[in-house]
Amino acid sequence: MGKKHIIIFRADGPLKNTYLTDKLEKLNYKIKSYPILSVKKIYSKEIKINNNDTVITSSFNSIYYLSQLTQNRIFDLYTLGKATTLLAKKLGFKNIIECNGDSGNILLSFIRNNKNKPINRGNVIYAGAKEISFNLPKKLSILGYKVNRYKIYRSQAINHFSSNFVNLVKKRNVSWIVLLSSKGATAFQANAKKAFDKEELSCINFACISYNVAKKLNKKYFKTFYPETPNINYIKKIISQCEKKYGS
């Protein structure tokens, strides 16, 4: 029997994010990626950003769309994850503060970096999706920061799986499915209920980027694994450890 598959479900945006795929290709699996969310730009006006402002983003797509909406590249820019940081550098942003994990980690990093600075040093700008699972702008506002939120794109759940993916599951050729967001996990579960039975799902392990993502899946049907600290780099470690313990 040939190698089984690891399937990555992610938001389908204007740029391909291959960072995790490249990491997982070193494992003894075939790697495929499918969309679970479709992304669409919804804001087109210029965002005026001063050099002493701070901009917070929490996704790969946020960075790409932000680069189209401002010419400034000098302000402090918070990014989430290595792939997003690499894209920000490629697009010319200079003062990048990389955070790992989830939006909660961005909040902790921001507080730590700004605890000795005046609260009105500059505006805090949040550029991201229309709908967010962790309301970071609200958390910062409660702490006394003036936050300008720009909803620059929206993501919409797909309503059916590709026939190719369904066939892989039906033929028991999928060992792992990777889910990277709460909204993506919710969308996956809704589609899986229509496409598969409990027995088919029981043959698959689900590697989630965090507990918050994993808890969106019903434990009766989905066998989930997630790192204690949310970090996309730990996905490979989770799969490797299970492979050594149970085999592929």
The CATH number of whichever domain residue 146 belongs to comes to 3.40.50.10090
d(CA 61, CA 12): 9
C-alpha pair distances (Å), 244 with each of 2, 101, 215, 238, 241: 18, 25, 25, 10, 5
Residue type at 143 in one-letter notation:
L
Which residue, of 92, 121, 155, is where some domain finishes? Answer: 155
What is the per-residue pLDDT across 23-49, written as a single tens digit (0 to 9) for each? 999 898 999 999 999 999 999 999 999
What is the per-residue pLDDT across 134-165, written as a single tens digit (0 to 9) for each? 899 999 999 888 899 999 999 999 999 999 99
The closest of 176, 179, 175 to 188, measured between CA atoms, is 179
Domain boundaries, position 188: 5-38+160-246
**Average pLDDT, whole number, for the chain?**
92
d(CA 27, CA 15): 24
What is the per-residue pLDDT across 68-124, written as a single tens digit (0 to 9) for each? 999 999 999 999 989 999 999 999 999 999 988 777 778 778 888 877 776 566 789
Which residue, of 122, 137, 155, is where some domain finishes? Answer: 155
Same domain, 71 and 124: yes
Angle between helices 82-90 and 60-69 (to 10 degrees): 20
Torsion (CA) 105, 106, 107, 110 in degrees, nearest 10: 120
**What's the alpha-carbon Rg for the chain, to the nearest Å?**
19
**57 — pLDDT class (breaks 50, 70, 90):** very high
Which residue, of 138, 155, 172, is where some domain finishes? Answer: 155
Same domain, 108 and 23: no
Same domain, 215 and 111: no
Q: What is the 3-state secondary structure (H, E, C) of 108-150?
A: HHHHHHHCCCCCCCCCEEEEEECCCCCCHHHHHHHCCCCEEEE
- Give the total number of structural domains in the chain: 2
